[in-house]
Amino acid sequence: MDVTSPPIFCGEYMKSILLLKSNAAVFLISILLFSFAIGGEVFFQGGDVSFVPQVEDNGGVYRDRGKVKDPFDILKDHGMNTIRLKLWHTPSENYNTLEKVIHMAKRIKSHNMYFLLNFHYSDTWADPGKQYKPKAWEDLSFEELKDSVYRYTRDVISCLYKNKVMPDIVQVGNEITPGFLWPDGRVGGSYDTPEQWQKFTALLKEAIRGVKEAGPGSDSIKIMIHIDRGGDNKGARWFFDNLLKHDVDFDFIGLSFYPWWHGTLNDLRYNLNDLAVRYNKEIIVVETAYPWTLDNADKVGNIVSSIDQLHSGYPATVEGQAKFLKDLITIVKNVKNNKGIGVIYWAPTWISTPNMGSAWENNALFDFEGNALESLDIFSETPEDTIKINVKLRLNTSTHYDTLRPYHFVQVRGELKNSLLDILPDGRKLSWYSDSELIMENIEGDYWQVVFEVRPGDTLLYKFWTGYNRNRPTYLRLGWEGPILPFQGKGNTRIFIAGENDTILPIQFYNSTGEALPQYWKPYEVKDNYLAIFFRVNLAKLMKSGIFDPEVNGPVGLRGDSTITSGQLSWNKTSFFLHREENSVYNGSFWSGTLYIPKSGLKAGDSLNYSFYIENINGGGYTEQNVHKRRLVITSSLLTQVNDTTLHWVYFNEPGYNKIKTEVEKAKLYAIRNIYPNPFNNRVYVKYNIPENSNVTIDIIDLSGGIVKELVKGKYNGGEYIVSWDGKNEDGKLVSSGVYLITFISNNIVEAKKVLFLK
């Protein structure tokens, strides 16, 4: 593309749409590819570089590793794939005009980057503090204003089409939380009325209609609604609830997030996840920035100049800027339901020059001399950051000193070590307080589990908290379990260090005691060639009724089949006794003990019949009346594996769970687990799993179905593998930019994933 050629003239209210149909097929194909890519795994990451023409016209230059380069080359080389440009209606200076936008858009397209167009619908800056209509529209009636918005928007898009620089995303209005085109389209404050919302949304619909009716295929352009409330969930919900109530049709939610104005990263995380679930829309943080220094290189005062404006934990250094940007991108990439699809940095190239100052120079991604900062590399750091693993955490509460039932409440509380964020990759909050969102699900009796995402290398510190509900804790330690000795290291918490693969942690038992117990302690001893069965019964109801007094009656024991237990149990006398858990609920109502049965005398399918028995009561003994014989089935897995063999606790004389949980679960195996980076312009890596020894074929296929490159073919052992593709076909030639399919075939497993190649 000739980026130096002048733009094709586009007069006001153009009549040229019909003349453009000869290029319709080319445009429709580009729209199709964009739509196909955006429906896949594209993450829009880039910057608003609207100030580049002014910087370049005033002698500014950009360098990468000491060499002067085109800023578009630098941004793309460092991982950006999207460029945003703002458009003013009739600016006082010759910048942000349609002509300048066309020149810049040609540079975008020549670099195979996505183009995001930002209509301000003003002659100057439009933001939450000012949304003034263009001077040319000041005296129009409301109906005339609607028509002008429609025609202007349509004609701009048509002109861009004619110049072959169609935008991929169009933003209709900039930070329009208070509406736009004041006073007609103003909302909020004293303008928060049904009449004003009706007028505002009517204008907005005309802008959207102008995009959709601009020419062949323009109805496929994605529409973004942009507000400023990155960390303000209440304000964001107020706006979009009203917008959708008036049936405004759009594709993306755009948010600005500057911590000195919009809150913390955790505020942003909460807002993004809530909006994603509430509105089911893709979300882009379309404006953000952070300072790399608080120094000033010119006489223009900087927007951020005080340490009080910084986010806690993120200093005004290149490293602090990089960490802020990395954490923000991580938050967006892990929005619930995969609705976080992009981060656009505002004015990364707005540096000062000898002839032009900048209020943003210390927020740019270039230093005062125009050298690219190392923080710019964050945009290319996609492989490790995008890998997530699933962890299944399981807990057995049969050792709880309270009567915890399946309808009660079990919560994981803790933190990600060495991280200022309290967010897991799946968007849930993890904290040491009641607001922790890791809530365990009861899966049967005393067994609870929760599945969550972490990143390889993450260290999780945690403990269990229990209650009758979220606000009413169990009676010991206000719901907290007792002290825990982690499986490695020191401290009083449980610990998990994430590896590279999905993980199912061994069953963990709730510690009700005041004694520090190892993280993976068991209420029984694991002995070779013995089956360990932990029996536990609650006598609180007998104690409350006056039938049983542990100071007078007892002890409590077990009676049952003699043969299957190698003579350890008998129906005629008690030879196996339980011990009283004196600190358990209701003044020590639980009794428990472990019976060790030789496996040599057992076979799968055998049944152990047993009953709890109280000595020294009613003139002799007292056996269970309603459940005279409880039954435990011995399974093959119980005999062949060392596993959790705890019986669910039961109430004396009442039926309840009495089977052993022995299922051994395996981590879920995927075909293609991850593709990174995506889009790519050098090499893409494909991480995949095969569940067992099998034949595997992985091919690169174009959209016409033709095989471009065979990556893998042969028989492989079960496991995890990584293969890469360099964008070349079987003849060793680079393929064209576009969307390709990576197909995976292994036995009965067939899967296809999209990848976008940008030269």
The catalytic residue positions are: 175, 287
> Is the omega angle on the peptide bond into residue 456 within 30 degrees of 0, that is, cis?
no
Whole-angstrom distance, CA of residue 705 vs CA of residue 757: 17
Q: Which residues pair with 222 in a beta bridge?
A: 169
**What are the angstrom distances between the C-alpha of 93 and each of 53, 457, 636?**
12, 52, 82
Q: Are 256 and 175 in contact (CB under 8 A)?
A: yes
> Cis ω on the peptide bond leading into residue 677 (within 30° of 0)?
yes
Question: For residue 42, which of 100, 112, 106 has the smallest C-alpha distance?
Answer: 112
Query: What does the angle CA 563 – CA 564 – CA 569 come to, to the nearest 5 degrees?
Result: 70
Token representation of residue 233: 């969930």
Report residue 373 as tokens. Answer: 């900062």
Asked if residue 755 lies in contact with residue 713, where contact means CB atoms within 8 angstroms, the answer is: no
Cα distances from 642 to residues 454, 528, 558, 636, in angstroms, run 28, 9, 24, 12
CB within 8 A of 436, min separation 6: which ones?
411, 412, 413, 414, 429, 430
How far apart (Å, rounded) are the C-alpha atoms in residues 62 and 425?
35
3-state secondary structure of 31: helix
Peptide bond before 183: cis, by omega within 30 degrees of 0? yes
Q: Would you call the peptide bond into 679 cis, given omega within 30 degrees of 0 as the criterion?
A: yes
CA–CA separation, 729 and 706 (whole Å): 11
555/613 Cα distance (integer angstroms): 9
Beta bridge partners of 459: 497
